């Protein structure tokens, strides 16, 4: 009953965002926004970071297939071991509550914001210059950082919500980074994506989002789309880089064991749909608190909403 009431309240709260999404996908608006976006990408091209080694390989994989996977040790980012240890502690402490919420009807489970606020190193890890360089090179614009969440997937076998094929709403291009906190095999709810993009999803044709059935995927991607499904299986510490806006993806339903993973999100500092961002569970007040003392680049990325036009900034972020 509690989860049903929460869902009803969320639908009501999401009405402004859904209305804004429809308005911003009207043909006259799309014809105005498309050229502006193209001009911004062209202007930023000479300023994009120059990548080398594994960082360049990650972006090449994103451009070619929409995905790249590496062990966290290969990134060589300082503080990774401490970040993984603390995130695992938080996920394990949330396990009982996650199971209770799922039993009560919840469809999505993240470690609550108050617990996340006790681990600022999880937040700042995602703001390393190298990760921002990767994000900006792939996205093609200065990168906004939408924060961090720990997703706890209970092994109940249900194919619901984000366990169905879908694309994310926030922007034209996105970078999402997943870090596994436990070993993940085919029965443990691996992240999956289809390495085949839909060329009709753009400013010219409009942006449409839905949980997609096999029939719809065949229509959009071709009858043989299953040949391009990538299942991201790997040990704890596996890092998955992927574009969740351009490519269909899901968390395969876990059946044998629960899955624990950290997710970091990036998009342009002026995303196409800012009212569909800010979905980690951290509030703007939380983000401001976690951002105290950050260098200018990191601060601008974390407080990206300050650059969004006031009218759009006033629309409550959707829960969808």
The 10s digit of each residue's pLDDT in 4-34 is: 565 556 667 889 999 999 999 999 999 999 9
pLDDT less than 70: residues of the chain: 1-11, 320
Q: How many domains is the chain built from?
A: 1
pLDDT of res. 95: 97
- Residue 41: partners with Cβ closer than 8 Å, 6 or more residues away: 140, 141
Is residue 233 a part of any domain in this protein?
Answer: yes
Residue 199: per-residue pLDDT: 82
CA distance 94 to 259: 12
Predicted confidence at residue 319, as pLDDT, reads 75
pLDDT value for 4: 55
Phi-psi label, residue 237: left if phi above 0, alpha if psi -120 to 50, beta otherwise: left
First to last CA, the chain: 19
**Is 319 within a domain?**
no
Is 302 inside a domain boundary?
Answer: yes
Residue 116 and residue 110: Cα distance in Å, rounded?
Answer: 10
Looking at residue 201, what is its pLDDT? 87
CATH number at residue 26: 2.60.120.620
Please answer whether residues 123 and 290 qualify as being in contact, where contact means their C-beta atoms are separated by less than 8 angstroms. Answer: yes
pLDDT number for residue 13: 80
Q: What is the pTM of this model?
A: 0.94
Evaluate whether residue 177 is within a structural domain: yes
Please state the separation of Cα 293 from the chain's center in Å.
25
Domain annotation covers residue 318: no
Predicted local distance difference test score (pLDDT) of residue 320: 56
Instruction: Record the tokens describing residue 16, joined without a space.
Output: 């402004």
**In sequence order, which residues have a C-beta less than 8 Å from that of residue 101 and are 6 or more positions away?**
3, 109
- pLDDT of 8 reads 57
Domain assignment present for residue 320? The answer is: no
Residue 176 lies in a domain: yes
Residue 203: which domain range?
2-313
Question: Could you count the other beta carbons within 10 Å of the beta carbon of residue 10?
Answer: 12
């Amino acid at each position: 009953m509690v989860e049903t009431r929460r869902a009803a309240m969320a639908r009501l709260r999401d009405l402004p965002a859904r209305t804004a999404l429809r308005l911003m996908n009207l043909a006259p608006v799309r014809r105005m926004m498309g050229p502006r976006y193209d001009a911004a990408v062209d202007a930023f091209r000479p300023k994009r970071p120059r990548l080398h080694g594994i960082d360049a390989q990650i972006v090449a994989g994103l451009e070619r297939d929409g995905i790249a996977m590496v062990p966290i040790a290969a990134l060589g980012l300082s503080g990774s071991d401490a970040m993984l240890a603390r995130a695992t502690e938080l996920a394990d402490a949330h396990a009982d509550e996650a199971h209770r919420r799922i039993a009560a009807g919840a469809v999505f489970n993240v470690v609550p914001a108050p617990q996340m606020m006790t681990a600022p190193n999880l937040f700042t890890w995602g703001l390393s210059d190298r990760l921002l360089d990767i994000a900006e090179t792939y996205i093609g614009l200065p990168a906004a950082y939408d924060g961090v969440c720990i997703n706890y997937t209970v092994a109940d076998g249900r194919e619901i919500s984000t366990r169905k094929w879908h694309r994310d709403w926030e922007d034209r291009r996105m970078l999402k980074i997943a870090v596994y906190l436990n070993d993940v095999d085919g029965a443990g709810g691996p992240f999956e994506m289809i390495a085949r993009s839909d060329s009709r999803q753009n400013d010219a044709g409009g942006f449409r989002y839905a949980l997609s059935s096999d029939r719809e995927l065949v229509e959009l991607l071709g009858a043989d789309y299953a040949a391009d499904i990538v299942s991201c299986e790997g040990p704890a510490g596996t890092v998955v880089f992927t574009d969740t806006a351009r490519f269909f993806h899901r968390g395969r339903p876990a059946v044998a064991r629960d899955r624990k993973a950290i997710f970091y999100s990036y998009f342009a500092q002026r995303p196409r749909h800012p009212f569909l961002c800010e979905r980690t569970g951290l509030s703007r007040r939380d983000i401001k608190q976690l951002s105290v003392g950050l260098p200018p680049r990191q601060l601008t990325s974390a407080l990206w909403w300050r650059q969004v036009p006031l009218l759009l900034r006033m629309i409550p972020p959707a829960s969808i």
